A and B are shown apart, each in its own frame.
Chain A
C-alpha cells in the first residue's frame, strides 16, 4: 500500500528496524514478567495441591478421603483457593502493562535519540502505526500469552511435584466471560486500561509529562467519582452490585473508548508536530 504519507514497504522496514533494535529489551521484560507471574501462580495452587496429595496417599478415615476428593475436585474444576488469589491478580496485570508501555515512550528519549528518530525518513503516520501496533494489539496479545504460559507452567510444576491430581489447565479458561455481568465488568476494565495507556501515549511527546498525566487523570477521576457516589446515593446499592449494573458499565465503557480514540488522535497530532523542543536536553 502506498499513500502520500504512508508507504507499506517503508513501514515494513521501520518495523524490522524497531524489532531488531528492541527485541532483546522486549524479550527480557517478558521473561522477567513471566518468571514473576509463574512463581506467583505456582505458590497459589501448591498449598492446596500438597494438602490434597498428602491426604490422597495417607487417608485413613472416610472423612479424610472425602476431604481430599473435594479439594481435588475443586483443583480440577479450577475453582480452588488459588483462583481467588489469581482472580485479583488477573485484573491488575493489564495495569502493569500500561505502566510498562507508557514508560516505553517516555523514559528512553534523549536528545540524541530524538534527533535520530526525527531525521529518519519516515512519515508521521508510519511512526504512529508502529506505536499503535506495538502498544495495543501486540501488548494485549503479549499479556494474554504471558498469562497462559505462566498458568501452563503452574500446571506442569504441580503435576511434577504432586502427581495423581488433575489440574485445570489453564485456569484462565475464560470462565468469567461466560457470565454476562463479569464480561461487562472485564470489558469496562479493558477499556479503562486502554484509555489510561492512551493517555501516556498521547502526552509522551510533551515536556511536562507527569503533570500533564496527573491533570488529565484528575479530569477523568472527578466525573467518575461523582458518577460513582451519585450511583451509590441514588440506588443505595453496594459496590458488588455496581459492577453488575450494565447501564453504568456501558456508559463508562463508551466514555473510555471515546477517550482512547481521542488520545490516539492527539498522539498522531503530536507526532506530526514533534520537534527537539519537546526534549529538555535540547536547550543549550
Chain B
C-alpha cells in the first residue's frame, strides 16, 4: 500500500508550494489514473511517491516504509517509468543481465512473453530504438520485475496505435491483487478502460479521488442529453448529438464513464463534484 500522509512540497522557498497537506491512499490490486492540467503537479507527485524528491513536511510510505529513505528493499518493490528516459547503448539481453539481479522477483520468461506481444526479442539494440519502442521495452522489463507497484508517467506517449492497444492488453493481463499501478497521463482515451480509480489533482489538491465504480454509481454519463438534462447536469458540454452530460444518478443507472467529461467537470465545479465524490474531504 502507498500512503501519502499530509505531504507538503515546494521546489523552493520563494515559490508557492506544489502540495500542501496532501493525503492519499493507494491500494494494491488497482490501476490508478492520475489526471491534472499541465503544471498541476502530477509528475512531482510521482517523483515524491518514488522517493526522488524530499517533502517539506509529511511523507510517502510504501508498505509502511518512508520511500525517501530509498532502501534497496523499497526501491526493488516498485518500478518507475518516467515520461522521458535514456537507455544505454547496448543490447536488451545485456541490459537484463545487468539490471535484473537488482529485482529479486524478476521473471525472465515473463519478459520474453511481454516482448513477444510487441513483436520484439531480447536481441534488440537499445541504442537503435525510437522513443516509442524504448517505452515498450521498458514497460516489458517493468512488468517482468514483478514489483508490487508500477508507476508510469505518460506511458503511451510516443507509442504507435497497435502499441497502445498491446500496452492495455499487457497491463490487464499482468495486474493482480498483489500489484498496483499508477498512470499519470493526458492521453485519457489510451487508458480509460484500464482505470479502477481516478485521482484528479489541481493546485496541489485532489479534486476527485474515487473508484470508477463509485463514480459510475453516483454519476450518469450520457453523450446525447437534451437541453433540459444539460441544465440539470453537474456538467455538460456540446457534442454532435446534443450535449455530453454528467448527470446525478439517483436511480443507479449504468453508464460508461467519460473521463474527459469528468475531468472538465471537476475543474469547472470542483466544490460540487468534491462534495459528491469525496464527502469526507
Contacts and interface: CB of A to CB of B under 8 A. Distances in A.
A13 interface: yes
B84 interface: yes
Interface string A93-130: 00000000000000000101111101111111010000
A10 B102 contact: yes
B151 to A, nearest CB: 9
Contact of B75 (A16, A17, A120): A120
A245 interface: no
Interface string B36-49: 00010001100100
A21 interface: yes
B211 interface: no
B52 A21 contact: no
Nearest to B84: A112
Interface string B64-77: 00001011110110
Given A115-B52, A115-B82, A118-B51, A10 B98 contact: no
Given A13-B101, A20-B94, A112-B85, A119 B72 contact: no
Interface stretch (A215-223, A260-268, A273-281): A273-281
A51 B39 CA distance: 74
A281 to B, nearest CB: 10
A114 B80 CA distance: 13
Contact of A112 (B39, B43, B86, B102): B86
B88 A21 contact: yes
B53 interface: yes
A234 interface: no
A124 B70 contact: yes
Contacts of B51: 118-119, 275
Contact of A277 (B11, B88, B90): B11
A7 interface: yes
Contacts of A275: 51-54, 68
Interface class of chain B by DSSP = loop
Contact of B72 (A16, A121, A273): A121
A40 to B, nearest CB: 33
Interface residues of B, number: 31
Given A10-B72, A275-B52, A284 B88 contact: no
Contacts of A123: 70-72
B103 interface: yes
A283 interface: yes
A168 to B, nearest CB: 44
A121 B98 CA distance: 12
Given A21-B88, A283-B11, A118 B52 contact: yes
B72 A276 contact: no
A112 B70 contact: no
B99 interface: yes
A116 B82 CA distance: 9
Nearest to A24: B89
Which of A5, A118, A121: most chain B Cβ within 10 A? A121
B244 interface: no
B256 to A, nearest CB: 34
A13 B102 contact: yes
A6 to B, nearest CB: 10
Interface in A226-284: 273, 275-277, 282-284
B50 interface: yes
Nearest to A16: B98
Interface in B75-127: 75-76, 79-80, 82, 84-86, 88, 90, 94, 98-99, 101-103
A277 B75 contact: no
Given A17-B98, A121-B102, A122-B72, A277 B86 contact: no
Q: Which 8 A-B pairs have the closest CB atoms?
A: A121-B76, A121-B75, A17-B98, A121-B72, A121-B102, A13-B101, A276-B52, A112-B86
Given A113-B86, A120-B102, A275-B52, 20 more contacts: A7-B72, A13-B102, A16-B98, A20-B98, A110-B86, A115-B52, A116-B86, A119-B51, A119-B80, A120-B75, A121-B72, A121-B75, A122-B72, A122-B75, A275-B68, A276-B52, A277-B11, A283-B11, A284-B39, A284-B44
